[in-house]
């Protein structure tokens, strides 16, 4: 619960920070208004760390640049068209000097093209008009500096105290201006732990189809930000419940498989959200304080999306999902491409989904060393993520089963570590390279060299380190047995 007196005290501390003081003094000396706006004001009041210094002013971009240049070590105007100037502000001197990045934007009074939803940029002269065009009331508060006055024309403080997301204007107008704000509502609900007001949820459901006009890149960015919050499941539930997920990530609501009185299986949708939560828990325990792992989180959310297409009702009431790992991998690749994710993310997520069932064969019977080597080889640099995903995929309420699976995976990781020490497992390759294969077999470059290399690699995985002489002998035998 946010206490107002403490929130105001934190705002004063923010206003007194050296970077805010320096920027505020420069604009005051130039005769222009300046206010911290949006995220830093909200986060300071909530007691959250402030990482972004976003300011707004009545000064136009050229003037902003003139004011900040003397107090900054670098400036950039990539957002000049929209009134934004960035700068790296220096505070302190000598060894005590610090530099922080700020963004300063001219008051906006935009109108929107209702067909493309692109803003027709218009600079304003009044702070209240700028705040009215923002997405949610808790982001529509400003702190004037250097005189330290809180400006809150839309009841953002009350909504902050109530932990509620509302829009400054009606949600229909706000989402009509920019439909992406509907996804942003889900992100802030997860990021802040806030409840989305009923009228906002109703508008999200009614206006969901308008999300189709938003570019895939913007949708992707917002989904990624949602998944990188501490509790993304809350926001995902909101997207599913309002019908937005059906339009931007339809594979997730499709996980809500129907059951009948004769065939029963676990709720795949709820299971997937639990796996996501548990994967985040493993991630934080293994890498405390590090940036969220988007690849792991996408894989956790999407790991079972192949189940709807592979669901089979078996005799006796059983339900099977044969090959849902392979099907899910292909579906994930297709969806992530459509959302314009980068190639590395797409490839990594698809590979993790393809591999996520592999361990359960280990839990049913001890693997040979060669099977462990293949597990490591196939995972490659995704091995640790695969560890976390596989552990997170255990959601059974049967404690005995959960303990058995956890013990089995502990054992697998121990064996991997032991083999790594013995064999430098990450760099497993045959003792003979392509050039040596050609010399031993007396052949030139061509597909036969590739086949021989692959055969030697399988031999290496099966039997471990052989030594170069033994590898040459075995290669010659294999070559002769093929009638070459």
* Residue 93, domain member (yes or no): yes
Q: What is the mean pLDDT of the chain?
A: 89
For residues 33 and 116, membership in a common domain is answered with: yes
Residue 398 burial (C-beta neighbours within 10 Å; 0-12, 13-18, 19+): exposed
Do the domain assignments include residue 144?
A: yes
Are residues 199 and 130 located together in one domain of the fold?
A: no
Mean pLDDT of the region 239-268: 81
Query: Is the confidence at residue 402, as pLDDT, over 60?
Result: yes
Beta bridge mates, 102: 53, 87
The predicted pLDDT at position 210 comes to 94
Residues 188 and 53 in one domain: no
**18 and 126 housed in the same domain:** yes
pLDDT at 260 over 60: no
Last residue of a domain, one of 407, 427, 447: 427
Does residue 261 surpass a pLDDT of 70? Answer: no
Going by DSSP bridges, is the β-strand pair 98-106/53-57 parallel, antiparallel, or unpaired?
parallel
Ramachandran region, residue 316 (left: φ > 0; alpha: ψ -120 to 50; beta: rest): left
Proportion of the chain in helix, strand, coil states, percent, rounded to 5: 60, 10, 30
Q: Are residues 244 and 103 in the same domain?
A: no
Q: Is the pLDDT of residue 27 over 60?
A: yes
Q: Is residue 17 helix, strand or coil?
A: coil
Determine if the pTM surpasses 0.85: no
Residue 268 lies in a domain: no
> Does residue 171 contact residue 200 with C-beta atoms inside 8 Å?
yes
Residue that terminates a domain, selected from 137, 162, 187? 162
By residue range, what is the domain housing residue 97?
Answer: 1-162
Q: Using alpha carbons, select from 104, 94, 110 the residue that is nearest to residue 19.
A: 104
Give the pLDDT score at 336.
Answer: 98
Q: Which comes out higher in pLDDT, residue 337 or 403?
A: 337
Is residue 468 domain-resident? yes
Two tokens, residue 184: 């942003």
Domain co-membership, 148 together with 73: yes
State whether 94 and 52 are in the same domain: yes
Are residues 102 and 236 both part of a single domain? no
Residues 6+ apart with CB under 8 A from 82: 105, 108, 119, 121
Greater pLDDT, 3 or 33: 33
Share of the chain above pLDDT 90, in %: 60
CA angle in degrees (0–180, nearest 5) for 408-413-417? 145
Nearest to 196 by CA among 177, 174, 211, 224: 174
| Count of structural domains within the chain | 4
Same domain, 29 and 117: yes
Backbone angles phi, psi at 63, to 5 degrees: -70, -40
- Do residues 91 and 19 touch, judged by C-beta distance below 8 A? yes
Task: Provide the residue count of the chain.
Answer: 484
Q: pLDDT-based confidence at 263, cuts 50/70/90?
A: very low
Distance of CA 133 to the CA centre of its chain: 27
Judge if 198 and 183 occupy the same domain: yes
Is pLDDT above 80 for 120?
no
Paired strand residues for 76: 86
- Percent of the chain with pLDDT strictly greater than 70: 91
b or e along 309-337 (b: 16 or more beta carbons within 10 Å of the residue's beta carbon)? ebbeeeeeeebebeebbebbbebbbebbe
Classify residue 259: in a domain, yes or no. Answer: no
Tally Cβ neighbours within 10 Å of residue 357: 18
Quick one: pLDDT at residue 365? 64
User: What pLDDT, on a 0 to 100 scale, did the predictor assign at position 228?
Assistant: 97
Torsion of CA 298, 304, 307, 310, to 10 degrees: 90
Q: Which of 210, 227, 249 is the last residue of a domain?
A: 249
Per the domain annotation, does 260 fall within a domain?
no
Contacts of residue 140, defined as CB under 8 A and 6 or more positions apart, other chains included, come to 38, 131, 132, 134, 152, 153, 154, 156, 168
Instruction: Return the number of other C-beta atoms located less than 10 Å from residue 18's C-beta.
Output: 13
- For residue 88, the domain's CATH number is 3.30.460.10
Q: Which of 362, 378, 453 is nearest to 411 (CA)?
A: 362
Task: Work out the average pLDDT over 82-105.
Answer: 86
Tokens (6 digits) for 233: 């499941």
Taking 80 as the threshold, does the pLDDT of residue 51 lie above it?
A: yes
d(CA 418, CA 38): 52
- What pLDDT does 482 receive? 78
83 and 184 in a single domain? The answer is no
Q: What is the pLDDT of residues 78-92, one digit of tens each?
A: 888 888 999 999 887
Asked if residue 269 is part of any domain, the answer here is no
| Gyration radius (Cα) of the chain, Å | 29
Q: What is the per-residue pLDDT across 196-234, written as a single tens digit (0 to 9) for each?
A: 999 999 999 999 999 999 999 999 999 999 999 999 999
Checking if the pLDDT of 2 tops 90, the result is no
Local confidence band at 457 (pLDDT 50, 70, 90 cut-offs): confident
For 28, the 3-state DSSP assignment is helix
- 477 in any annotated domain: yes
Regarding whether 155 and 18 lie in a shared domain, the answer is yes
pLDDT for residue 371:
85
Minimum mean pLDDT range among 166-175, 248-257, 261-270: 261-270
From the list 346, 340, 422, 427, the residue with the least C-alpha distance to 383 is 427
What tokens does 147 get?
């005189």
């Amino acid at each position: 619960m946010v206490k107002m007196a403490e929130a105001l005290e934190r705002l004063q501390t923010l206003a007194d920070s050296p970077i805010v003081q320096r920027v505020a003094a420069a604009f005051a000396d130039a005769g222009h208004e300046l206010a911290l706006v949006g995220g830093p004001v909200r986060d300071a009041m909530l007691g959250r760390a402030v990482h972004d210094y976003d300011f707004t002013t009545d000064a136009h971009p050229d003037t902003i640049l003139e004011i900040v240049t003397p107090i900054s070590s670098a400036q950039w105007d990539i957002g000049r068209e929209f009134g934004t100037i960035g700068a790296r502000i220096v505070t302190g001197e000598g060894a005590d000097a610090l530099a922080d990045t700020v963004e300063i934007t001219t008051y906006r009074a935009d109108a929107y093209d209702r067909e493309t939803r692109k803003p027709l940029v218009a600079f304003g002269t009044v702070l209240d008009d700028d705040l009215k065009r923002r997405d949610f009331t808790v982001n529509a508060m400003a702190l004037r500096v250097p005189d330290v006055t809180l400006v809150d024309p839309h009841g953002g403080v009350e909504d902050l105290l109530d932990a509620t997301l509302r829009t400054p204007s009606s949600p229909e107008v706000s989402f009509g201006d920019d439909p992406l704000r509907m996804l942003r509502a889900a992100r802030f609900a997860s990021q802040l732990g806030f409840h989305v007001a009923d009228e906002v949820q109703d508008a999200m459901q009614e206006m969901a189809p308008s999300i189709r006009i938003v570019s895939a890149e913007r949708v992707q960015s917002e989904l990624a930000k949602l998944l990188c919050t501490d509790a993304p499941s809350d926001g995902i539930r909101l997207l599913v419940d309002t019908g937005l997920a059906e339009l931007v990530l339809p594979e997730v609501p499709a996980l809500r498989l129907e059951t009948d009185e004769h065939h029963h299986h676990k709720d795949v949708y709820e299971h997937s959200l639990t796996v996501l939560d548990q994967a985040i828990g493993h991630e934080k325990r293994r890498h405390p304080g590090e940036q969220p792992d988007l690849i792991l989180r996408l894989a956790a959310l999407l790991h079972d999306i192949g189940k709807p297409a592979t669901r089979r009702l078996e005799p006796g009431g059983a339900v099977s999902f044969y090959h849902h790992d392979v099907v899910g991998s292909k579906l994930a690749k297709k969806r992530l491409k459509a959302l314009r994710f980068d190639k590395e993310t797409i490839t990594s997520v698809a590979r993790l989904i393809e591999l996520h069932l592999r361990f359960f064969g280990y839990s049913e019977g001890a693997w040979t060393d060669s099977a462990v080597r293949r597990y490591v080889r196939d995972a490659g640099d995704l091995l640790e993520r695969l560890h976390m995903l596989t552990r997170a995929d255990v959601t059974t309420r049967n404690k005995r089963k959960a303990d058995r699976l956890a013990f089995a995976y502990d054992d697998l990781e121990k064996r991997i570590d032991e083999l790594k020490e013995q064999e430098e497992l990450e760099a497993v390759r045959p003792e003979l390279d392509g050039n040596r294969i050609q010399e031993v077999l007396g052949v030139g470059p061509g597909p036969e060299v590739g086949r021989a290399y692959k055969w030697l690699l399988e031999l290496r995985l099966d039997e471990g380190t052989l030594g170069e002489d033994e590898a040459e002998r075995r290669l010659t035998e294999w070559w002769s047995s093929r009638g070459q």
